Amino acid sequence: MDIAKFIDHSILRPNHTLKDLEEQVRQCIELGVYAVCVNPFWVRRAVETSGGRLVVCSVVSFPFGLDTKEQKVMQAVRALEDGASELDIVLNISALKSGMYGYVEEELKAIARNTEGVVRKVIIETAYLSEEEKRLAVELIADTGMAFVKTSTGYAPSGATEEDIKLLIDLSRGRLKIKASGGIRTRAQVLRFLELGAERIGTSSTFEILGED
């Protein structure tokens, strides 16, 4: 299986330099990786470096999701203006856990209204949520027209697990695709998550994974 075409390669660490970004984008092109996922600051440069040869995805409100609704909308719109064609949006986890479901729903709807026509993935940070909160998150995301639910930013205590992928697929009932992300460092993990039904893999260990025999 050509797993490169399922990978969103993460270039999100705060100490990444412009040189790191350009080198990793070029490596991803050579390896046939599907997308690079970058911070808003680097979207335009990633688009210029890629020259349309791979998808550029921007994170929104990364990694905590605690910007205001208006800030998230502005950030998402600006990322698209800079050339991003996909968005990985961090859910307001604190609002969800506080029972502010109406706010979470309106935030997602506001982003959706202003970013039609692009692939949008919503990061729910599974490590912080109970099973019931995961169910509520999936319902809110599915009802607002997003394409994917994503497990993790990679900055929580744990990332993607087999149990969560199975659960999210079950809860989504075909309404959302699943992006497994967080702690994925081996080809075996990638293959297992794809086997379970994930349709996209987020990892910063792309080159190590694709370099495995």
pLDDT band at 38 (very low <50, low <70, confident <90, very high): very high
**Looking at residue 213, what is its pLDDT?**
58
Catalytic site residue from 69, 72, 134, 150: 150
CATH number, domain containing residue 79? 3.20.20.70
pLDDT tens for each residue of 48-104: 999 999 999 999 999 999 999 999 999 999 999 999 999 999 999 999 999 999 999
Write out the residue range of the structural domain in which residue 195 sits.
3-210
Alpha-carbon gap, residue 93 to 96, rounded angstroms: 5
Catalytic site residue from 82, 88, 121, 134: 88
pLDDT band at 1 (very low <50, low <70, confident <90, very high): confident
Number of domains in the chain: 1
Assess whether 179 carries a catalytic annotation.
Answer: yes
pLDDT at residue 30 tops 70: yes
Assess whether 82 carries a catalytic annotation.
Answer: no
DSSP string, 153-191: -S-SS----HHHHHHHHHHHTTSSEEEEESS--SHHHHH
| CA–CA–CA angle 11, 14, 16 (5° rounding) | 55
Assess whether 150 carries a catalytic annotation.
Answer: yes
pTM for the complete prediction? 0.97
List the structure tokens of 117: 């026509």
